[in-house]
Amino acid sequence: MKVEGKNAVLELFRSNTPIDKLLVEQSAKNSLTDIISKAQKQRIKISYLPKEALDRESTVKNHQGVIAFVSGYQYSDLDDIIAFAESKNQTPFILLCDGIEDPHNLGSLIRTCECAGVHGIVLPKNRSCQINETVIKVSTGACFNMKIARVTNLNDCIRKLKQKQIWVFGLEANGTEIYKTDLTMPVALVVGSEGFGMSELSKKLCDGILSLPMFGKVNSLNASVAGAVAIYEVVRQRSN
């Protein structure tokens, strides 16, 4: 797997993820001294190549002069996420992605979650985008500092969270206004797919459906935008 771009590669180092090798654009060496220094200290193989060579290797076509190679993304388990929250003596806060297929939306959600202190993210194994080069780039490497679990059945995950006394709320239209809902308890938010929203069974399993107020003629927000607004409403309530 390739990790491309300055910020994404720096996050890779900060997360202590093993790096197999590094490609550095010859003409960009002076602007990448921090990355080069870290790689040299860890005795990571560095190849200095012309821009054209990195252009050919690039998947996202915006490498910024550096590409790191890693063996693959290491997913967590749902129990790891819950244990992580407990280890920090914090009220659990989890995001569930119900069929997010656009890597740009997923990457953006991961970046928001990392910034907001969300303890973990859950993805279904099927009919959902997984962690790939584009997701890594859009998240600016935040995925390497997030616990992200993959589950076979998202509805079983919702049931398990409820058994652990974690409230599960779906984000959909025609629900209770989010600003009128107490979200200071252990909570998991569910963001539905870009085209179809949440599945009907997932909605039925949720403890409630929350909505953002809409005042324009367009009746919906992009999945990553809606998710970000909801995530920070939880942060706001818990900060008071």
d(CA 186, CA 165): 7
Q: Is the pLDDT of residue 216 over 90?
A: no
- The percentage of the chain sitting over the pLDDT mark of 70, rounded to a whole number, equals 100
Cβ-contact 22, 66 below 8 angstroms:
yes
Domain ranges in the chain are 2-69, 78-239
Predicted confidence at residue 82, as pLDDT, reads: 97
Residue 194: what pLDDT?
79
* Domain 78-239: top CATH class: alpha beta
Q: In the prediction, which pLDDT does 218 show?
A: 79
> Considering all CA atoms of the chain, what is the largest pairwise distance in Å, rounded to the nearest integer?
56
- C-alpha distances out from residue 11 to 23, 38, 60, 106, Å: 16, 12, 17, 17
Q: Let me know: does 12 contact 141? Beta carbons within 8 Å.
A: yes
Q: Which two tokens stand for residue 188?
A: 């998991």
Report the pLDDT value the prediction gives residue 221, as an integer from 0 to 100: 84
- pLDDT confidence of residue 141: 92
Q: What angle do CA 74, 77, 82 make, to 5 degrees?
A: 125
Q: What is the pLDDT of residue 195?
A: 81
What pLDDT, on a 0 to 100 scale, did the predictor assign at position 72? 86
Could you report the per-residue pLDDT of 114-123, keeping only the tens digit for each?
999 999 999 9
CATH number for the domain formed by residue range(s) 2-69: 3.30.1330.30
Pairing of strands 167-177, 187-192: parallel
Say if pTM beats, i.e. exceeds, 0.95. no
d(CA 234, CA 136): 25
Do the two domains 2-69 and 78-239 of this chain adopt the same fold? Answer: no
The two tokens of residue 228 are 């970000």
- What pLDDT, on the 0 to 100 scale, is given for residue 46? 97
Contact 101, 194 (CB under 8 A): yes
pLDDT single digits (tens) 23-61 = 999 999 999 999 999 999 999 999 999 999 999 999 988
User: What's the 3-state SS for the chain?
Assistant: CEEECHHHHHHHHHCCCCCCEEEEEHHHHHHCHHHHHHHHHCCCEEEEECHHHHHHHCCCCCCCCEEEECCCCCCECHHHHHHHHHHCCCCCEEEEEECCCCHHHHHHHHHHHHHHCCCEEEEECCCCCCCCHHHHHHCCCHHHHCCEEEECCHHHHHHHHHHCCCEEEEEEEEEEEHHHCCCCCCEEEEEEECCCECCHHHHHHCCEEEECCCCCCCCCCCHHHHHHHHHHHHHHHHHC
Output the pLDDT for position 107: 97
Instruction: Report residue 240's pLDDT band, with 50, 70 and 90 as the boundaries.
Output: confident
How many angstroms separate the CA atoms of 69 and 166, rounded?
A: 37
What values do phi and psi take at 71, rounded to 5? Answer: -70, -25
The band of 78, judged by pLDDT with boundaries at 50, 70 and 90, is very high
pLDDT value of position 50: 97
The two tokens of residue 209 are 């459906």
Categorize the per-residue pLDDT at 196 as very low, low, confident or very high, splitting at 50, 70 and 90: confident
